[in-house]
Amino acid sequence: MIRTENLGMIFSPGTPDENMVLKSVNLTVKRGDFITIIGSNGAGKSTLYNTIAGTLIPTSGRIFMDNGSGEKDITKEPEYQRARYIGRIFQNPLLGTAGSMTLADNMMICYKKGYKGLRISLNHAMRERFQEHLRVLGMGLENRLEDNVSLFSGGQRQALTLLMTVLSHPVILLLDEHTAALDPHNAELVMELTLRFAAEYHLTVMMITHNMTHALHFGNRLLMLDDGDIIFDLDEKEKAALTTADIVERFRAIKQRELANDEMLLG
């Protein structure tokens, strides 16, 4: 599915501010994986996402993608091209939707993303289709197609972003702390929708999280990054037996030091 080979990223190379954020990262993501990713601030988690999504071109190494027709080197492929098959949801619930546009227009943009036929228009049949999809969210948004999305709550917008991303049929879904900015009720709801959509649409998912309950109990793999390296990669059976304390102890054993900011990892 996705494979990184000796992936490295250096910010401000050759200057006093030089910072090696990724250090020869080798990662293979298999089709159907649901990988939770943990690590303290500055560990390299978001930079890894940025290189996979094409937001950043790595300083060294390569990235390969297999969409089912053979492995392809996408290291230098621009972000807008990768957006056709890589979905990404950020922590800020306002980033995934166009607030100044109606819900119907947002849904139309989502639908057109994967459309390869003739021009489509917002007709009665299309409205019914959108309402059917929106009804799954359980938020009553199916009755608000003509409302501007700016009127929706953060939880509604993040749930909508998740739905729209899934409906664009991504090959892989990158979730960057996508429930962290929500209140507990909406965070739980969006997480439940995430798990439901991942199963129903057979998605491959990578999810950065600071919620250790989510990290340990969801998905089939757990990665921990620190200082630009993947320091462990656990399968479903291995992580099922772990507790938060076990994670901290494993970090100490590998790195021979204490976590500099436990509260960021374990919040």
Residues 39 and 224 sit within 8 Å (Cβ to Cβ):
yes
What's the token pair of residue 113? 């993303």
Helix 103-113 with 124-135: angle, nearest 10 deg: 90
**Is the pTM for the entire model greater than 0.75?**
yes
Q: Looking at 101-105, 160-164, 255-259, which range is the least confident one?
A: 255-259
What's the token pair of residue 82? 């990768």
40 burial (CB, 10 Å; 0-12 / 13-18 / 19+) is: buried
pLDDT higher than 90, residue 202: yes
pLDDT given for residue 260 in this prediction? 60
- Interval 34-51: pLDDT, tens: 999 999 888 999 999 999
Residues 81 and 54 sit within 8 Å (Cβ to Cβ):
yes
As a whole number of angstroms, the distance between CA 87 and CA 113 comes to 11
As a whole number of angstroms, the distance between CA 232 and CA 219 comes to 15
pLDDT higher than 90, residue 79: yes
As a whole number of angstroms, the distance between CA 188 and CA 127 comes to 28
pLDDT given for residue 259 in this prediction? 63
Rg (CA), the chain: 19
b/e burial code for range 8-25 (CB count within 10 A of at least 16 → b):
bbbeeeeeeeeeebbbeb
pLDDT given for residue 263 in this prediction? 43
Mean pLDDT of 202-224: 93
- Interval 107-144: pLDDT, tens: 988 776 644 443 456 788 888 999 999 999 999 999 99
As a whole number of angstroms, the distance between CA 211 and CA 263 comes to 11
CATH number of 2-97+154-266: 3.40.50.300
CA angle 225, 222, 212 (to 5 degrees): 85
pLDDT given for residue 116 in this prediction? 45
Percent of the chain having pLDDT more than 70? 92
pLDDT given for residue 246 in this prediction? 87
pLDDT given for residue 133 in this prediction? 94
pLDDT higher than 70, residue 265: no
pLDDT given for residue 267 in this prediction? 43
pLDDT given for residue 115 in this prediction? 46
Boundaries of every domain in the chain: 2-97+154-266
Average pLDDT, the chain: 90
Cα dihedral sign for 207, 212, 228, 262?
A: positive
What's the token pair of residue 243? 């507790």
222 burial (CB, 10 Å; 0-12 / 13-18 / 19+) is: buried
pLDDT given for residue 264 in this prediction? 46
| DSSP H/E element including 104 | helix 103-113
